[in-house]
Structure 1
Amino acid sequence: MRSFSLARYWSIVKKEIIQIKRDRPSLAIALAMPLMMLFLFGYAVNTDVSEIKTAVWNQSPSAYSRELVSQLENTRIFQVIAYPGSYSELEAMLDDGSARAALVIPPDYTRKRDRQERAEVQLLIDGSDPNIARTASANAQLIIQNNSMTILEERMQKQGMGPLDPAVELDTRVLFNPNMESIVFNIPGLIGLIMQNVTMILTAFSLVREKERGTMEQLIVTPIRPLELLLGKITPYVFIGFFSFCLVLLLGSTWFGVPVKGSVPLLVALSVLFLLTTLTLGIFISTVAKTQLQAMQIAFAFILPSVLLSGFMFPRETMPVVIQWLGGIVPLTYFLEILRGIFLKGVGLEALWRESIGMVLFFLLIISVAILRFRKKIE
């Protein structure tokens, strides 16, 4: 049985480099698309809710009602855009989307406040977007609670009583992302997602392109072994993918202001491992597909589930156990934990060894299956 030949491997590498140079559109995609996708998704994928367009129907104009409206606006969560004069106007604004929330202050609001009676206000929320609805409801409740506490303290002081001290006080500290900005959470994930998509699609075409151009017949008559051919195909894309990774990493850290808190050498090493994994997955796809169109379809059939199952958009802890298991066979799942651990928490390999082993096992599994599927013959 022939052993691995470095000379045959290097000949495949040089052949692939020549093809990449001739295929300039693919090279441009590999270098320009990561930057374009990072800009696009970096600004588009934002779960922070602010400036919710709010209409206020103030039926009791007074200092009390104006103070309440001012408290809503000062949070910067709500943005008062209109003061309609009826329920029909409120409903029309909620229906056409010009307003996402509507505050209704009843006619007896000021009178009840003067009499120190319980006053009620109503908040109508457009629930078609649950994220906006939850944010609006939670913040409005906090504002009303703080307003009620302030009124209660004022009444107690007028009666000669001391200030109202809470029985329980909560001291909250938010670690790793103190301002709870979604962009700090999203940028590391976007880097992994972009690198997976670009490198997988490029390598998914490699062997298929050989079949369509008829050059696979020339490779068949050579003594090149499957492992040498597959590794030779992958190697040039490793350097292209690594260069693209450095570009998006630099852009994410400087332009979007998300610094790497952990070890940069560790991040680079594990990123190269992830690139090898996704490139190998692309090679596996090319051994399955017979045309470039099939390769593209299979690649996209893998990309969409990986976005949903990896924890990029939704927390995996809330998913059913079976779905979590399915996410465990997606390499992006492990790499997202690595990226966010190094970017946000600054942890080392002692906290990321499980994810690293997971990617190594996935790489070995896919490269083995790809070699078994590859046959140096035309069916």
Structure 2
Amino acid sequence: MNWRRLSAVAIKELRQIRRDRMTLAMIIGIPVIQLILFGFAINMTLRGLPTAVADQANTAASRAVVMDLFATGVVKPVAQADTPQELMSLIRRGTISIGIVIPPDFERRRIEGREAVQVLVDGSDTAVQSAAMQLAQMPLDDPGRVRPLTSSPPAPAINVVSFYNPERRSAIHIVPGLIGVILTMTMVMFTAVAIVRERERGNMELLIATPLSTAELMVGKVLPYIGIGLVQITLILLLGMWIFQVPVRGSLLDVYLASGLFVLANLSLGLLISTRAKSQFQSMQMTFFVFLPSILLSGFMFPFNGMPAAARWFAEVLPLTHFLRLIRGVMLRGAGLGEMWLEMLALAAFTAVMMTVAILRFSRRLD
């Protein structure tokens, strides 16, 4: 082996990497992004869970109990309700994760040592269940005061009731989210190489010669993958219900409508990447930069409420964040799309913006 020739090849490779901005960005960007995400944005300790209160007693003692519960930092008031039924409606829509019910006979229950406060929990997220259990460890030992657990605690005064997944099976929480993760990975990657592949195979000349408009070309590229996405959705649903007994409590039509809109959002993003990339390998590199923050910040792997505000704001831009709320709301809580119209609007706006930018950026010139 000639070390001179070997070093020449190595130097040539280093220079080529230096000229390739995308590869250089991955060398520096991947460790930086992962370090920031895992070290700063990922937090397994949940705080500030969105909560509503139905205080039917409306006494000084009941109000003091509510204030002390909020003082723990685990829950944060975002809405008000009058009845437990209204709390359940808010939980089903995804507006809140926890509902606190104080019955009209709160004072008598507390004095008799019976259950005086009930905490309703959205059990479709197992992390929320674990955080809510902290509230049950604080008995009401004095009027209007929530004190730490003592060596000889009285009967539990705060009862936590979990809905939608009382068995705390992780598959029920994960499988609906996998629909979004798989669609993000496949749909973005498929369309990210769509335009680039035409250039590399020499088919762009034929497309330029046709009377197709830019919009017709881009939409035509997307249509076949919509069918592929629907096939993937059906396969995941069937396997999830058969193997893991994951329920579909809402309308199956709502599941496909939400998933179809999410497929369009990912396809439009993939087309935008395809208009920017110079090769199929570069398009896959750019896809990785989209997939990594999506899976980490959307709430699929790590609790959304445990992230700092800046990370949550960034996550709101990602279509996977809104789709997870939709699919878990429909499948696990039986919510309708009309109750979660803001999430649908966010996906529709994302699709419109990405598709418009992709059409404007697409060039029908070979150079």
Check whether TM > 0.5.
yes
Give the structure 1 partner of residue 364 of structure 2: 376
Quick one: which of 178, 193, 196 aligns to 1:208?
Answer: 196
State the partner residue of 2:350: 362
SS at match of 1:172: strand
> Whole-Å Cα distance in 2 between the matches of residues 314 and 299 of structure 1?
21
Equivalent position amino acid for 1:344 in 2: L
Q: Which amino acid aligns with 1:376?
A: R
Deviation at 1:171, TM superposition (A): 2.5
Match of 1:310 in 2: 298
CA contact (8 A) 2:258 2:327 kept: no
* Structure-1 residue corresponding to 2:217: 229
**Taking every aligned residue pair, what percent have the same amino acid on both sides?**
43
1:292 to 275, 280, 291: 280
Amino acid at match of 1:306: S
TM-score normalised to the size of structure 1? 0.56
Contact 2:326 2:337 in 1 (8 A): no
Q: Is 2:247 aligned against 1:259?
A: yes
Once the two structures are superposed, what CA deviation does each residue of 1:92-144 show, in whole Å capped at 9, x if it has no partner? xxxxxxxxxxxxxxxxxxxxxxxxxxxxxxxxxxxxxxx9xx99xx9xx9xxx
Alpha-carbon distance, 1:165 to partner: 8.8
Confirm whether residue 240 of structure 1 aligns to residue 231 of structure 2: no
Distance 2:208 2:287 in 1: 26
Give CA-to-partner distance per residue, 1:218-237, whole Å, 9 cap, x none: 21122211110000001011
Partner of 1:172: 160
2:186 alignment partner, one of 187, 195, 198? 198
For normalisation by structure 2, the TM-score amounts to 0.58
3-state SS, counterpart of residue 312 of structure 1: coil
Q: Matches of 1:165 and 1:248 in 2, distance apart?
A: 47
**Residue 336 (str. 1) matches residue 324 (str. 2):** yes
Distance (whole Å) between structure 2 residues aligned to residue 309 and residue 175 of structure 1: 25
Per-residue deviation at 1:244? 1.3
Alignment of 1:98-109 (within 5 A): none
2:319 maps to a residue whose letter is: P
For the residues of structure 2 that align with 1:273 and 1:286, how far apart are their CA atoms?
20
What is the Cα deviation at residue 168 of structure 1?
4.7
CA RMSD in angstroms comes to: 2.3
Shift of 1:170: 3.0
What is the Cα deviation at residue 240 of structure 1? 1.2
Q: Secondary structure at the match of 1:238?
A: helix
| Distance (Å, rounded) in 2 between the aligned partners of 1:348 and 1:209 | 40
- Whether 2:169 is the aligned partner of 1:181: answer yes
Separation (CA, whole Å) in 1 of partners of 2:320 and 2:219: 21
Alignment of 1:140-179 (within 5 A): 166=154, 168-179=156-167
Which is greater in Rg? 1
Q: Using the TM superposition, give the Cα deviation of residue 167 of structure 1 relative to its aligned residue in structure 2, in angstroms.
A: 5.3
CA distances 1:333-358 after superposition (whole Å, capped 9, x unpaired)? 00000111111111112321110000
**Amino acid in the other structure paired with 1:365:** V
> What corresponds to 2:314 in structure 1?
326
1:253-312 residue CA offsets vs partner (Å, 9 max, x unmatched) = 111110101111111111111111111111111111010000110011110110111111
- Matched letter for residue 228 of structure 2: I
Correspondences of 1:8-19 after superposition (within 5 Å) = none
In structure 2, which of residues 336, 343, 348 is the aligned counterpart of residue 348 of structure 1? 336
Q: Work out the CA distance in 1 between the residues paired with 2:234 and 2:314.
A: 30
SS for the counterpart of 1:358 is: helix
Amino acid at match of 1:368: T
The AA in structure 1 aligned to 2:208 is I
